[in-house]
Chains A and B, each alone.
Chain A
Amino acid sequence: MADIFDSYQLAAAWDEMFEQPGTPRGPYQGLVAALQPLDPAELRYRADQLARIFTDRGVTFDYAGEERPFPLDLVPRIIDAVEWDLIARGVRQRVLALEAFLADVYGPAQVVDDGVVPWQLLATSRQFHRAAHGITPPNGVRIHIAGIDLIRDEQGKFCVLEDNVRIPSGVSYVLENRLAMTRTFPALFAEQHVRQVDSYPARLLAALRAAAPASRRDPVVVVLTPGVSNAAYFEHTLLARLMGVELVEGRDLLAADNQVFVHTTAGLRPVDVIYRRVDDDFLDPLHFRPESVLGCPGLLNAARAGQVTIANAVGNGVADDKLIYTYVPDLIRYYLAEEPLLGNVETYRLGDPDVLDWALSRLDQLVLKPVDGAGGSGIVIGPHADGQTLERLRGKVASSPRSWIAQRPVALSTSPVLIGERLAPRHIDLRPFAVHDGSDVWVLPGGLTRVALPEGALVVNSSQGGGSKDTWVLAAAGAGPAVGYLPLVPVQRQADSAGIARQAGPGGDQQ
């Protein structure tokens, strides 16, 4: 019988859903059975409805100055309990190692003296902020929130593509995608035991409050946004609303005598923790860009004086630099005395002249990434690039090898994505989000699955026109119902009463 997956052709990569055509992998069997009877046109209709609902509700991101709805694909991505356990432990391990690295780098820098990381790497990093040296966060945490980008390679193994410990964004997609899926496709959830994602705001708030200066009994947390024109503005409002805290802009803040306040109609109110979504460079014009009006002068010294906590900490960029990335497995061994649970993608440092020559001779077989680049910009995928692009790249890399790394091209795993009115394989990645509250690193079960929408494309990023999928982490077999799930049942006042009858106006009592 014809079904929705009939025309689905596997690409030359690990497919998340199908082992081979017609044979779904274990975790996907329920989903495939539920989707099979659907008409692709029906799926398209629901997808369009969803986009309209997102637009109406303003669930958007800014792309080239235009508000666009979150592009959610209706076919979820599923990860089983065993695999998720590895991911969660691997992410936690990575965050702890990077946390130890930051504490070291902005302190004694023992890691340099012990020869694990060359000093040159730090000294030449644009993200190594000497102005942040000596700022000790109250509970020792600098990475309150991390997003670790993972991909699954051709053999089905997860590995780390990149770390994000500055201001990782995208968690609002996770929350909104789940909400949208449960509303649009409630039936899909019936047979599955999918772990909840809605505890994220509470976890985040708890971690931010735990990071407050020690003397604060009831710390005041605010979210600092660059403003409505920021691409992730929706996320800022969502997190502020779900945490029940104020969303502020730089001009709302005032730092005086190392105390930070917000201007309110009742005067100045103190602030203890700032979850900032403003880049380091714009945060404090006294220490960074003097022309910035997105931040607030005096913020950095208030943090240095221990009177306010900036989350994530200033200067974290030195730890998610793509060159430092190549050292993270060593950092895990050095700081934690553990073997990395999640490996890196095979990466080459171009600082060594021999490696540089080798890489320049095979640019068409490598992926080249700018060290400072964010959001997928500047990446050149050798096998997909034309001769002219490669020539330009060769010039740039040769003149500034410190600014680039080279990687083996990995065919990211694929998953069925609704394109027009049929399902086709598209490459995806996974960004799990971790929250560090000082006593433990908690990993949100699921995270953001991003989709590279153009056929064959390997760069997944919303700023590159990518899509996303709801990401399901299945509960371990035998786990009880999700915590907090309470069915609504009428309270019986008396054993045989049917509750209190509804009242009716004149003429309404005859029925």
Chain B
Amino acid sequence: MNTGLLSRIAETLFWTGRYVERADDTARMVDVYVHRLLEEPRPDEDADCRALLSVLGIPVAGDAVLDIGATVYQLAYDAKSLSAITGAVLAARSGARSVRDVISSEMWECLNVTGHSLAAQRRSAERLGPHIFLRFIRERAALFFGLADSTMSHDDAWRFLVLGRSLERVDMTARLLLARMPDTPYEVGWPMLLRACGAYESFIRSHGWTGGHGEATEFLILDRLFPRSVLHSLGTAEDCLASLDPEAGRAGMADPARRPIGALRTRLEYSRTDLPADQLAALLGTLQETCLQASQAIAERYFSYTEPVAWASGG
């Protein structure tokens, strides 16, 4: 019998999955881009930094002139921003703290130690360069999800965690690919693009050195075997939703969360591999739109509980 999971806990797990994945993806991205900016000083540092921040959805004040230091702070160390690594890790930690009776102790300890270590890691990074901090985040995220896979029952609680991770991954990959669209000022080389997704080595193993932008993009969106590709992540999300709702009807698809994800996954499955640039831009927009829709539908269906709203008394 499916007795269900507390709605509040399901929501917290979903967001814990998203925040850890966000910290991981942001760390990978910052690592690649910031080092490129540091290695090859460019004429317009301000524009480059603005492009990077806007891709990650971080608002930038119009009049400030940005440099790399300020950008790294906003992406990595800002504890108040949920788009920054530190903010995302702390949010994941406090989420895990409120569901620590549902996740395994090792998972909670992993995030707890990560949260407590941020300050020390940042101090080393400020002495030795941001890579130390970013690598630490990547390792801790891998440890966290590894522990989730190996120390937690693969039940509904686990599915919400994985569901959050998968949707965040689709969203982040779409953002990353948008960063190289022609109308953005800073176009990145394809090896960098792949590295920022942790896909470089996998890509080389399957495509050799013959690739280019088109192949790299295709790999990140359509590869069926690479676990960070959009197609793979959508498939994972769909599997989670299917298991959460085993009694789906025989015809059509009633689940408003599964419908957009499944439709997009099917479209990608049969899509051409050499998309022209304009269609690609539209597709990336659809990707982000789908993530948003699915996230809202999931919240409506599974996370409905009494929000703490002030009571009005008297009578």
Q: How far is the CB of B161 from chain A (nearest CB, A)?
A: 13
Chain A residues with CB under 8 Å of B307's CB are: 251
Q: Does A274 contact B (CB under 8 A)?
A: no
Q: How far is the CB of A59 from chain B (nearest CB, A)?
A: 10
Contact string, B1-14, partner A, CB cutoff 8 A, digits 1/0? 01111111010000
Chain B residues with CB under 8 Å of A267's CB are: 4
B101 A227 Cβ-Cβ under 8 A: no
Beta-carbon contacts under 8 Å, B3-50 to A: 3-8, 10
Chain B residues with CB under 8 Å of A249's CB are: 8
Q: How far is the CB of A469 from chain B (nearest CB, A)?
A: 24
Contact string, A45-89, partner B, CB cutoff 8 A, digits 1/0? 000000000011110000000000000000000000000000000
Say which one of B108-116, B128-136, B278-286 lies at the interface with A: B108-116
Given contacts A247-B101, A290-B311, A293-B310, contact A262 B6 (CB under 8 A): yes
A56 B112 Cβ-Cβ under 8 A: yes
User: Max chain B CB contacts within 10 Å: which of A248, A250, A264?
Assistant: A264
Interface residues on A, range: 20 to 34
Q: How far is the CB of B154 from chain A (nearest CB, A)?
A: 16
Given contacts A251-B308, A265-B156, contact A56 B109 (CB under 8 A): yes
A252 B6 Cβ-Cβ under 8 A: yes
Q: Does A114 contact B (CB under 8 A)?
A: no
Q: Does A187 contact B (CB under 8 A)?
A: no
Given contacts A58-B109, A249-B8, A252-B7, contact A285 B306 (CB under 8 A): no
Query: Which residue on B lies nearest to A57, using beta carbons?
Result: B109
B8 A252 Cβ-Cβ under 8 A: yes
Query: Which residue on A lies nearest to B117, using beta carbons?
Result: A56
Q: How far is the CB of B8 from chain A (nearest CB, A)?
A: 5
Beta-carbon contacts under 8 Å, A229-270 to B: 233, 237, 240-241, 246-254, 262-267, 269
Q: How far is the CB of B174 from chain A (nearest CB, A)?
A: 27
Q: Does A123 contact B (CB under 8 A)?
A: no
A241→B101 CA distance, assembly (Å): 5
Query: Which residue on A lies nearest to B7, using beta carbons?
Result: A263
**CB-contact partner of B7 in A250, A264, A285, A297, under 8 A:** A264
Say which one of B63-71, B73-81, B92-100, B225-233 lies at the interface with A: B92-100
A252→B7 CA distance, assembly (Å): 7
A263 B6 Cβ-Cβ under 8 A: yes
A269 B101 Cβ-Cβ under 8 A: no
Query: Which residue on A lies nearest to B160, using beta carbons?
Result: A265
A265 B310 Cβ-Cβ under 8 A: no
Q: Does A291 contact B (CB under 8 A)?
A: yes
A58→B116 CA distance, assembly (Å): 10
Query: Which residue on A lies nearest to B5, using beta carbons?
Result: A265
Given contacts A58-B108, A228-B97, contact A264 B116 (CB under 8 A): no
Q: Does B271 contact A (CB under 8 A)?
A: no
Chain B residues with CB under 8 Å of A266's CB are: 2-5
A309→B112 CA distance, assembly (Å): 35
Beta-carbon contacts under 8 Å, B203-246 to A: 244
A263 B108 Cβ-Cβ under 8 A: no
B311 A293 Cβ-Cβ under 8 A: yes
A57→B4 CA distance, assembly (Å): 28
Q: How far is the CB of B245 from chain A (nearest CB, A)?
A: 9
A263 B3 Cβ-Cβ under 8 A: no
Chain B residues with CB under 8 Å of A263's CB are: 6-8, 304-306
Since A240-B101, A251-B8, A269-B4 are in contact, a sample of 15 more A-B pairs with Cβ atoms closer than 8 Å, ordered by chain A residue number, is A58-B100, A58-B112, A241-B101, A246-B6, A250-B306, A251-B307, A254-B306, A262-B6, A263-B6, A263-B8, A264-B4, A265-B5, A285-B313, A291-B311, A293-B308
Shortest 5 CB-CB contacts between residues of A and residues of B? A266-B4, A264-B4, A290-B313, A263-B305, A293-B308
List 7 A–B pairs whose Cβ atoms lie within 8 Å, in order of A's numbering.
A55-B116, A57-B108, A263-B7, A265-B7, A265-B10, A290-B313, A293-B309
